[in-house]
Amino acid sequence: MNYLTQAVVTDKNFLDNIISFIDKGGVFIYFIILCSVAAMAVMFYQAMLLVRQKVIPDSLVNSMSAYVSEGNEESTQSLNHSRKSNPSVLQKLCDVVLERHDRKDVEIQEAVQVSAREEIHKLQVGIPFLEVIIAIAPLLGLLGTATGLFTVFEGVGAGEEKYEEMAQGISEALITTVSGLAVAVPAVIAHGYFNRKIESYAARLEVVMDKFVGAYSKGRDLN
């Protein structure tokens, strides 16, 4: 029971510290918190969007590689089955090729490139939001710093009765600065990571589709 009571007291103290921290941050800390929540939501959504199975599943890549190297009936059936069971960006690009079986090779390649650009653009849907958060979170922290310093300077030379207000201004300046950077730094890291991952997927899709279109253009039938 003592351990339970101690845990409850610890949790209460932790919650009180958080509330006190927010209260000392002034009005701009609430906007920074909103940026933090938005950043976490965007990062989670972007991470789910870039799951490998949803972009370039290994089983479909293997089936396409087998079709490119063998081109027999067995590899064709395996590819058809893999396409149907692995909805993904790669599967959509494969469908673009198959839907244009009666077109010229150049037209097929152009259609694949256009579709690939569109799909890559869809994968980047969360990136602009992260860029906005990266830009405004430190600025909100800077605004909080400015208002906090204004309170400090206002109290300079005003006597002992202003010391508490000066301390509050210093707290507001430091808290908003740290909070703004604390939101922006993970967003910058996530932004770079997601961009690198998308570039990697784009390069891999280009290689796989180039080989597949080359093999398909030789007259092999997937029907």
Residue 47, pLDDT score: 94
Q: Structure tokens of 119?
A: 């799909």
Residue 222, pLDDT score: 47
Confidence of residue 9 (pLDDT cuts 50, 70, 90): very low
* C-alpha dihedral, 52 to 56 to 57 to 59, nearest 10°: -150
- Going by C-beta distance under 8 Å and a sequence separation of 6 or more, which residues neighbour residue 163? 155
What mean pLDDT, rounded, does the chain reach? 81
79 has pLDDT over 80:
yes
* Ranges of each domain in the chain: 24-223
Report percent pLDDT > 90 for the chain. Answer: 36
Residue 18, pLDDT score: 62
SS3 at position 51: coil
